[in-house]
Structure 1
Amino acid sequence: MSGAVSHEEALALILHEAAPFAVEHRSLAEATGLVLAEDVVAGADLPPFDNSAMDGFALVADGGSLPAGTEFEVAGSQVAGDEASHARGAGAWEIMTGARMPGGLDSVVPVERVEVLARDGDGRARRIRLTADVQPGDNVRLRGQDVERGTTVLTAGRPVDAAAVMVLASLGVDQVAVRRRPRVAVLNTGRELVDDPRRSLSSGEIRNSNGPFLAARVDAAGAELVLRETVTDEPADFLAALGRARAAGADVVLSTGAVSMGRHDFVPDALRGIGADIRFHKVDIRPGRPLLFARLAGGQLYFGLPGNPASAAVGLRFFAEAALRAFTGLAPERPLWMPLAAPWQKRAALRFHLKARVELADGVVRARVLHGQESFKVQPLIDANAWIVVPAATMAFAAGDMVEVYAPGHAEGLKFEEVAR
């Protein structure tokens, strides 16, 4: 495909190639952090039986209030883990939190709301008096009150987080259907790049910041980094590294640099030489317009990111991460909408991805475009806690205009701090 494509066209081409992975069944420990591929239906009630919500005494109210001052003989006791028992008569049963309610009893009075009138030789209560009224059902957790058997508790497309694990473990689920993590390789091109932070720079050399940044972002995106290499601008070196990425099992290869239109931007021709299908090369966005997307002959997806740090960050965040989501069965990402904190305008009719800071001031959340939007600047990424995305057609924005806002990564929640006005 020649010429620049729109963001929408690029995303459609990416998602067309990023079919969800095959379904696997994993234990809860192995599934944590993965995405459910199938709904989970409760095979049991939760709680599995009526039980006490308090340490206290189980009583029978039988539809009517038990007034303060009523006295009861203590006829039995029930602790957590005891088997089912049945109360006979109108006496009270000492009971602990989580213990199964004896049959025939329907309410619990906490220990704080009784006066013990008599104890046996072991110090156990034998007669009590209520110091507060007790209503039917007080402090009793009913069977199925949390989850009813047969209900869908988790739906496909939901990440298996700690809360999901708690519910699944409570229901006795030992395995769930999930899709594995995508495997990603990162290749940084450029003979000017230096990986060793202890080595002094020669004239014309720079530190490789894209490699460590992309490796960290790949992990935050829920993917597995299987290879990271820095290669020269020689096509043979690049293709050898690409072969190692494929041998490492990468589903996605990210490269930085050598995708623009300069004399030394060799990546497009190198990919064509090994039979890659380049689906687009250039997107009407800023930063990161020279973005390249291809499918390799082995089926892997290839994202050629520009070398400038902000351009590489945008290419990963808004294009490669869309593929990572699709592989795992997550639905396409949706933005939040927030008012703009201050006026802003642009000089090109492109879709802009802006380093931004979301702030809470005077009870209102606003999104602020940060200074330093040039694609070579890395310092603003430290201050940024979000991205603002503005459409190509709108050139100027007033304070208070609603804009699209995204978290730093697709798998992350938006975090912000209150600021003084």
Structure 2
Amino acid sequence: MPLGQSIGHVLAEPLTALCDLPSFDTSAMDGWAVAGPGPWALQAGGSILAGRGESPPLEDGTAVRIATGARIPPEATAVIRAEHARTDAGQRLLYADRRVTPGQDIRPRGQECRSGDLLLPAAALVTPAALGLAAAAGYDELAVVPRPTVEILVLGDELLAAGLPYDGLIRDALGPMLGPWLDALGAETVATRWLGDDAGALYRAVTASGADLVLTTGGTAAGPVDHVHSVLRKAGAELLVDGVGVRPGHPMLLARLPARTEAGGEDSPAGHLVGLPGNPLAAVSGLLTLAEPLLRGLAGLPAPVPYRAPLRGEVRAHPYDTRLVPVVHRAGYLVPLHYNGPAMLRGIAAADGLAVVPPAGARHGEELEVLDLPWTPS
């Protein structure tokens, strides 16, 4: 992939230096290149500038102006910073105001790395700094793991794409939210489609999709218009997770879709389907616990390091399921937020993450595991 497009991907192979860094001895400062002990006779002929070829050797006892990043002339023994040197009245001799040591303010060839050195291991994230390092080391392209592609299918006849709710219709909150959220997880959202409660349309969309992951919203329970299970059976999918003991979000599911036969007769790799509940906060639960780990694996990203933090206050128990409760970090504690019902987004919109509350509930000071949101500062 071209260098500038690889940001946010992970390396598919180790990044090794294609050249020495720096590739020649360079000046670390604007000043004077000198040879031998001083005072030094000023060499005629102007300054040595960055981006120029090799200069003639510097004779012992002489000095020449040099710019930061310029190539050190052969036989030079040190660079004296401009602010640490002075010339005589006739501009013939250079004197140092401080002791000069051999090699000072010279970046020697290969100081940072030698050609062939390992710079970053495979699976390292391509950050802006990694991008700069790769460019400095001579790369124009990087071998990266491709972003997993996702197609979002929003289900529900009651959903509006715009405007205010009316006559039993409600605004769709998940369609606008899921694409950017998935992109923040390292995926590439290729399409967001609104299908309504139509089993035939859902079957055609699922079986025709070429995405690595199909993400559906709603339709995962057992209601009269919940078609996801029947469509998966008809498509020959393998159901891997069918409901989770968590609130909100318990009807979430994960399935492996069968490989599709392409026009040329070749089978495409099997994709996956994550079925999210239709309630917004319940959908977020499924997004964090099923979709995110799957996408991290497909993208080659490491799992986040789990951590725990103490709770401020109490969180009531669910009779038998784990609860996921929106929280913020305050002075070393997890503070539960209000508006944490399955259909609510007000709490999660202000949250840093979801606290994992066991079925027994949680008391003040108890340490709980936290599922951070993709944009939570580490």
| TM-score of the superposed pair, with normalisation by structure 2 | 0.89
From the superposition, tell whether residues 336 and 47 of structure 1 become closer, same or farther in structure 2 (CA, over 3 Å): farther
Cα distance in 1, alignment partners of residues 310 and 107 from structure 2? 44
Please state if 1:208 is matched with 2:144: no
Q: Which residue does 2:50 correspond to in 1? A: 80
Q: State the 1:289 CA deviation.
A: 0.8
One-letter amino acid of the counterpart of residue 264, structure 1:
V
From the superposition, tell whether residues 367 and 126 of structure 1 become closer, same or farther in structure 2 (CA, over 3 Å): farther
From the superposition, tell whether residues 50 and 404 of structure 1 become closer, same or farther in structure 2 (CA, over 3 Å): farther
One-letter amino acid of the counterpart of residue 205, structure 1:
L
Q: Which residue does 1:28 correspond to in 2? A: 3
1:349–1:395 CA contact under 8 A, matched in 2 = no
Please state if 1:255 is matched with 2:219: no
Cα distance in 1, alignment partners of residues 355 and 367 from structure 2? 10
Q: Which residue does 2:295 correspond to in 1? A: 324
One-letter amino acid of the counterpart of residue 369, structure 2:
E
Q: State the 1:150 CA deviation.
A: 2.5
Matches within 5 A, 1:306-345: 306-345=277-316
* Aligned-residue CA RMSD (Å): 2.2
One-letter amino acid of the counterpart of residue 404, structure 1:
E
- Stretches of structure 1 that go unaligned for 5 or more consecutive residues are 1-25, 120-124, 417-421
1:226 to 177, 182, 190: 190
Which stretch of structure 1 is more off in the superposition, 181-190 or 256-265?
256-265
1:74–1:127 CA contact under 8 A, matched in 2 = yes
Q: State the 1:167 CA deviation.
A: 0.6
| TM-score of the superposed pair, with normalisation by structure 1 | 0.80
Please state if 1:404 is matched with 2:369: yes
Q: State the 1:393 CA deviation.
A: 6.5
Q: Which residue does 2:241 correspond to in 1? A: 280
1:175 to 141, 153, 174: 141
Matches within 5 A, 1:326-405: 326-359=297-330, 361=331, 365-390=332-357, 392=358, 395-399=361-365, 401-405=366-370
One-letter amino acid of the counterpart of residue 268, structure 1:
H
Cα distance in 2, alignment partners of residues 404 and 60 from structure 1? 63
Q: Deviations over 1:104-159 (max 9, x none)?
A: 2232111111122246xxxxx53222222223332221222222333211111122
Q: Which residue does 2:266 correspond to in 1? A: none
Q: Deviations over 1:71-120 (max 9, x none)?
A: 3211264221232332121222211101111222232111111122246x
Report sequence identity in percent: 33
1:181–1:328 CA contact under 8 A, matched in 2 = yes
SS at match of 1:167: helix
Cα distance in 2, alignment partners of residues 30 and 233 from structure 1? 38
One-letter amino acid of the counterpart of residue 395, structure 1:
G
Q: Which residue does 2:262 correspond to in 1? A: none
From the superposition, tell whether residues 116 and 387 of structure 1 become closer, same or farther in structure 2 (CA, over 3 Å): farther
SS at match of 1:176: coil
One-letter amino acid of the counterpart of residue 292, structure 1:
L
Q: Deviations over 1:9-41 (max 9, x none)?
A: xxxxxxxxxxxxxxxxx2212323222111111
Q: Which residue does 2:157 correspond to in 1? A: 191
Which stretch of structure 1 is more off in the superposition, 276-285 or 303-312?
276-285
- Stretches of structure 2 that go unaligned for 5 or more consecutive residues are 260-269
Aligned length: 365
Please state if 1:239 is matched with 2:208: no
1:58 to 26, 33, 36: 33
